[in-house]
Structure 1
Amino acid sequence: MATATAADFTSNPPAPALAVKSKEALVDAMEDIVYGSIAGVAGKYIEYPFDTVKVRLQSQPDGLPLRYTGPLDCFRQSIRSDGFLGLYRGISAPLVGAALETSSLFFWERVGRELLFTSTLYSRSEPLPLSALWLTGAISGAFTSLVLTPIELVKCKIQVPASAPGTVAIAPRPLAVIREVFRHQGLKGFWHGQLGTLIRETGGCAAWFGSKETATLLFRRWNASTSSPSSPSNPQNLPTTTSPPDLSPLPLWQQAVAGATAGMSYNFLFFPADTIKSRMQTVAANSTAAKLRFWEEGRAIWKVYGVRGLYRGCGITVARSGPSSALIFVVFDALKGGLHLN
């Protein structure tokens, strides 16, 4: 992230300084929203075909032979029946969702930092420790889940349209899905699966921001150790503890690796919650299965498939999250002016 260091405030700044700082904070918040939206859309175009395969693997019905033997088989069958563009079915809603999700993540992460600073637990004159950055990521994910659940519900129903046995499923349009959900479940139906999104986003975003900052810190230490000249008092080229930390932007490849690490951590650690959520959101809105609660759906998957059922589609999800998350952070940092192209 490009916002790793907070601005340096004095304990009692004069009124003009406060006005300037407030204006700067507003500009930074608007930048987070705009730049996060652009980065989210760019990342979605990379990951969406893999996300379609993931949802189709997760939502295979119980009690019937599995339609897909694995991700590659799902890719083959999907391309054979719908063509490659079929893997982008329903991308319009996710593009809006990606813009809202990513901008919301960066915005609420900034709010989380401000909450820690105003609580007097941390000083604005020093970078936040990693533990605090994992916490701000969790705060960001919790708030973002409220925005994300309705969008993902529409996306999942388009990616895996409900159909009667022996018939060909026809993908509905977003407005048709919205009307169907509202008619059968009302406004609260759009937050069906909210607990799964909350668990995934709160824990996953703690890992997303936290892993990215952890990798960034390790790269900075490694860069300092390899660039510092050796001396009799420092024969191993270790950075001294008295010198301030180097907070300059990392080289492009290091930012990409840190971003990829964040994406893979986000998806792997809380994948079962996403599986349960996808199952809940792909059933027909008027079916009895739509009334199952989060833990009931989880027990049903465990009873039939065990732990493997909860991680169905995990491999392909983690694989696609690396380049997608790397692109999101690289684009965001570039737009914020924090990118070195070397």
Structure 2
Amino acid sequence: MELSCGVAGGRSGQSATATAAATAVATTPGGGPASSGRLMDADSPGEEDYESLPPSASLGTHMTAGAVAGVLEHTVMYPMDSVKTRMQSLQPDPKARYSGAFEALRTIVQTEGVWRPLRGINVTVVGAGPAHALYFACYEKMKRTLSDIIHHRGNSHLANGIAGSMATLLHDGVMNPAEVVKQRMQMYNSPYKSVLECMRTVYRTEGLGAFYRSYTTQLTMNIPFQAIHFITYEFMQEWWNPHRQYSPGTHVMSGAVAGAVAAAATTPLDVCKTLLNTQENMVLTSVNVSGHLSGMANAFRTVYQLGGVAGYFKGVQARMLYQMPSTAIAWSVYEFFKYLLTKRELEKRSPS
């Protein structure tokens, strides 16, 4: 959701603010945002301000909306995330070889129990809230700052990409330890009975660095992923929702397309990240690695050595099936809560 508050030059002070607030939150009789909910600049009629949120859209609004969106994104699609992790295994156990994403999910439920695809979800919930709060808040702030510099009062795909990359630094700093634990819990025949046991064992046997061994790889994957993701999302919004109203359907569709494109393009990096996070014993034995595999270059070489070019795209179907609804959920939930919270803040500030 983007509310606009461009005010005509003849207005001033409290009256102008109240008018902008009232217009921004106007809705159609059916409950959707009114197409007239944007004010034109008197100096340039017909030219609409670019998605400038009113001052009442606080940092807390972005962080709250982002946290809710992140938790829902990861929890709703978590079973497919578990499938993706297993299908990216370079040398899986014979009992964990799957021909497709849905066949894999069905097999896991039938042979290991209905709750097995949800193992590790608790650590993901704990990490996803603060990680996505920082992620969306940083993105919104940097997108507007950079857009003003690069393309005054207009949308800049370069600004969107840079803002998404910067937001990823904060997100992954919080989320990477949770990813390590989550993926080890998701693997077939995982030896860990609980998240806490996994954390203690990894810390005791591999040290604190194990929780960030894949951090540079994660960034190497997520920076291009998020750049592609945000650029694609904003591009689709320009196409389907040029006036940048709150429009649930376009947020869902734009998010799904953005997730699919970014997921397909960065699957090779995700395969390497999964290998570094899980440290598959059979893989390490095959390549005569004693100790632990580390570094993007080593991971890339190992993947190619064992799977060739096709190895870089293991689990691409599951990854796209996971990311499409995940990003659709994230954007629709985020835009909804941003719209709701901003509307309430505007109503509180408006004269009664």
Structure 2 residue identity aligned to 1:209: F
Counterpart Cα distance in 2 of 1:113 and 1:153: 30
Identity of aligned residues (%): 22
Normalising by the residue count of structure 2, what TM-score does the alignment of the two structures yield?
Answer: 0.73
Query: What pairs with 1:134-213 in structure 2 (closer than 5 Å)?
Result: 134-160=161-187, 169-213=190-234
Counterpart Cα distance in 2 of 1:291 and 1:279: 8
Pair 335,64 (structure 1): closer, same or farther in 2 beyond 3 Å: closer
1:272 partnered with 2:274: no
1:248 partnered with 2:233: no
Pair 317,291 (structure 1): closer, same or farther in 2 beyond 3 Å: closer
1:42 partnered with 2:72: yes
- State the 1:25 CA deviation: 6.3
- Gaps spanning 5+ residues in structure 1: where? 15-23, 162-167, 222-245
Moved over 6 A (4+): 4-8, 62-66, 284-287
Normalising by the residue count of structure 1, what TM-score does the alignment of the two structures yield?
Answer: 0.75
> Partner residue of 1:257?
253
- State the 1:216 CA deviation: 0.4
Query: 3-state SS of the aligned residue for 1:290?
Result: coil
Query: What pairs with 1:33-72 in structure 2 (closer than 5 Å)?
Result: 33-61=63-91, 67-72=97-102
Structure 1 residue identity aligned to 2:237: T
Counterpart Cα distance in 2 of 1:313 and 1:7: 47
Pair 96,289 (structure 1): closer, same or farther in 2 beyond 3 Å: same
> Partner residue of 1:236?
none
Q: Is the 8 A contact 1:55 1:156 kept in 2?
A: yes
Query: 3-state SS of the aligned residue for 1:128?
Result: coil
> Partner residue of 1:215?
236
Counterpart Cα distance in 2 of 1:253 and 1:174: 37
Q: Is the 8 A contact 1:141 1:203 kept in 2?
A: no
- State the 1:141 CA deviation: 1.7
- State the 1:149 CA deviation: 1.4
Number of equivalences: 291
Q: Is the 8 A contact 1:149 1:192 kept in 2?
A: no
- State the 1:4 CA deviation: 8.2
**Segment drifting more, 270-279 vs 131-140:** 131-140
Pair 65,332 (structure 1): closer, same or farther in 2 beyond 3 Å: closer
- State the 1:312 CA deviation: 0.8
1:29 partnered with 2:31: no
Question: Residues 4-55 of structure 1: CA distance to partner in whole angstroms, max 9, x if unpaired?
Answer: 87989x9xxx9xxxxxxxxx86962211111111111222222111110110
Pair 64,296 (structure 1): closer, same or farther in 2 beyond 3 Å: farther
> Partner residue of 2:25?
none
1:127 partnered with 2:154: yes
Structure 2 residue identity aligned to 1:85: W
Counterpart Cα distance in 2 of 1:338 and 1:131: 29
- State the 1:262 CA deviation: 1.7
Pair 297,5 (structure 1): closer, same or farther in 2 beyond 3 Å: farther
- State the 1:292 CA deviation: 3.2
Q: Is the 8 A contact 1:108 1:139 kept in 2?
A: yes
Query: 3-state SS of the aligned residue for 2:292?
Result: helix
Structure 2 residue identity aligned to 1:215: M
**Segment drifting more, 273-282 vs 27-36:** 27-36
Give the one of 310, 315, 319 matched to 1:317: 319
Structure 2 residue identity aligned to 1:127: G
1:295 partnered with 2:297: yes
Pair 25,148 (structure 1): closer, same or farther in 2 beyond 3 Å: farther
Q: Is the 8 A contact 2:72 2:329 kept in 1?
A: yes
Pair 247,79 (structure 1): closer, same or farther in 2 beyond 3 Å: closer
